[in-house]
Amino acid sequence: MPNLIWPRALSSDVGASGLIGRTIHWLGVAMALAFLITAIGFAVDGWSMSDAVWLSVIAVVMALATRGIRFLLARE
């Protein structure tokens, strides 16, 4: 369970599923960051606070979900 909070040292022999898990994780983190930047833009400009809140929630959920996928596939 502590691996969900802080990962172990990376190993080079994770196999194909591990590489897929790492790729999904980093793509998900990049998408979550894009969602968060968009949410900050919405909030700062005052366009739609409800959309900003939902985009922030989606960004956090996406980052945690992709971390879980990495944990399952790469065992990290």
Q: Return the SS3 of 13.
A: coil
Q: What is the pLDDT of residue 2?
A: 57
- pLDDT of res. 27: 92
Under 8 Å between Cβ of 36 and 55? yes
Res 7: pLDDT: 59
- DSSP letter at 1 equals -
Q: Do residues 8 and 76 make contact, with C-beta atoms less than 8 angstroms apart?
A: yes
The helix or strand, by DSSP H or E, that contains position 74, with its residue range, turns out to be helix 49-74
**What amino acid is encoded at 33 in this protein?**
L
Check if the beta carbon of residue 37 is closer than 8 Å to that of residue 3: no
Over range 8-32, report the average pLDDT.
82
Tell me how many degrees the CA angle 58-64-66 measures, rounded to the nearest 5: 95
pLDDT tier at 5, thresholds 50, 70, 90: low
